């Protein structure tokens, strides 16, 4: 009888333990768009305090498992003014940033250098192919206007292409076919190493770029060196030395 009484006293005491209150975990969805056109900005850099993310093809990024409280959120995109705000998170929310294009100062180019480089592009057939309107053509002026810092930045916003990061390196990928990268040519020669090391090209040395988004657009002189199933080609021309 004494044992039964003792158990009746001890068991409830052993079974009841004070549990700390569970802290809710919140989610934050952020959209980054062009303030003038409303177009999404893929590849924009977004930070929530010390956690950093890059927006996807739709210009969105998600932060999960956030604790309630104040969080500072910022968004930045090459060639645009940056923006930031501080939120008092009490629930999962959706936030939109509208970034405005920032005018870029263009470096002065010597007239003699312009003549030499124009003649070079004429010689390799750049202007003739541009007149055919079969691809996307970027001159040095276009690259400067984009405010690119690295060579891969020059391709952001080019129709039919997107930039992916693989093993910490920027890679060009077609939006028309999954996991398909265009063939790259440097000064007329196939440069397969560039497909994995795109930013090994110094942007300041680039004179012009031709983008052909599918095999049907690739000029005959270059299509013979790539498979018909390849996702087009990118031709890179560097400054005359």
Let me know whether 124 and 145 are in one domain: yes
Does residue 57 lie in a domain region? yes
Which range of residues forms the domain containing residue 92? Answer: 26-99
The answer to pTM > 0.85 is no
CATH number at residue 216: 2.170.130.10
Which pLDDT belongs to residue 77? Answer: 86
At 110 the pLDDT is: 47
Same domain, 46 and 119: no
Question: Is there a domain that residue 8 lies in?
Answer: no
Same domain for 117 and 62, yes or no, is no
Average pLDDT of each block of 10 consecutive residues along the chain (241 residues)? 50 53 81 89 88 88 90 88 91 92 57 67 92 88 84 87 83 79 89 79 89 88 69 86 53
Please give the tally of structural domains in the chain.
2
CATH number at residue 62: 2.60.40.1120
Q: Is residue 123 domain-resident?
A: yes
Q: Are residues 170 and 52 in the same domain?
A: no
Same domain flag for 122 and 233 = yes
> How confident is the model at residue 7, as a pLDDT?
45
Domain boundary residue, one of 65, 99, 133: 99
Pair 201, 173 in one domain: yes
Of the three residues 99, 125, 150, the one that is the final residue of a domain is 99
Q: What pLDDT is stored for residue 15 in this prediction?
A: 53
Same domain, 94 and 154: no
Residues 115 and 227 placed together within one structural domain of the fold: yes
Q: What is the pLDDT of residue 60?
A: 93
pLDDT of residue 115: 65
pLDDT, residue 158, reads 86
For residue 36, is it within any domain?
Answer: yes
3-class secondary structure per residue, the chain? CHHHHHHHHHHHHHHCCCCCCCCCCEEEEEEEEECCCCCECCCCEEEECCEEEECCCCCEEEEEEECCEEEEEEEECCCECCEEEEEEECCCEEEEEEECECCCCCCCCCHHHHHHHHHHHHHCCHHHHHHHCCCEEEEHHHHHHHCCCCHHHHHCCCCCEEEEEECCEEEEEECCCCCCCCEEEECCEECHHHHCCHHHCCHHHEEEEEEECCCCCCCHHHHCCCCCCCCCEEEEEECCC
166 shares its domain with 187: yes
What is the predicted pLDDT for the residue at 31? 95
Domain annotation covers residue 19: no
Write down the pLDDT at residue 56. 87
| Same domain, residue pair 94 and 115 | no
Residue 224 and residue 144 in one domain: yes
User: Is residue 106 situated within a structural domain?
Assistant: no
95 and 141 in a single domain? The answer is no
Choose one of 43, 73, 99: the last residue of a domain: 99
Tell me whether residue 5 is in a domain: no
Considering the domain boundaries, does residue 11 fall inside one? no
């Amino acid at each position: 009888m004494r044992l039964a009484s003792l158990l009746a006293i001890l068991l409830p005491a052993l079974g009841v333990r004070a549990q700390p209150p569970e802290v809710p975990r919140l989610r934050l969805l952020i959209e980054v768009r062009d303030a003038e056109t409303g177009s999404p900005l893929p590849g924009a850099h977004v930070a929530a305090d010390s956690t950093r993310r890059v927006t996807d093809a739709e210009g969105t990024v998600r932060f999960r498992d956030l604790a309630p409280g104040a969080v500072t959120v910022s968004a930045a995109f090459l060639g645009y003014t940056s923006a930031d705000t501080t939120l008092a998170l009490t629930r999962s929310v959706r936030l939109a940033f509208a970034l405005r294009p920032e005018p870029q100062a263009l470096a002065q180019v010597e007239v003699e250098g312009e003549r030499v480089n124009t003649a070079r592009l004429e010689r390799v057939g750049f202007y003739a192919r541009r007149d055919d309107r079969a691809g996307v053509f970027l001159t040095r002026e276009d690259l400067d206007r984009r405010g690119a810092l690295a060579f891969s930045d020059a391709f952001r916003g080019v129709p039919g292409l997107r930039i992916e990061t693989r093993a910490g390196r920027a890679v060009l990928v077609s939006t028309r076919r999954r996991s398909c990268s265009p063939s790259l040519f440097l000064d007329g020669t196939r440069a397969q190493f560039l497909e994995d090391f795109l930013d090994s090209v110094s942007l300041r040395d680039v004179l012009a770029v031709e983008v052909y988004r599918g095999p049907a657009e690739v000029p005959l002189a270059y299509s013979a060196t790539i498979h018909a199933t390849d996702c087009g080609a990118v031709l890179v021309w560097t400054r005359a030395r």
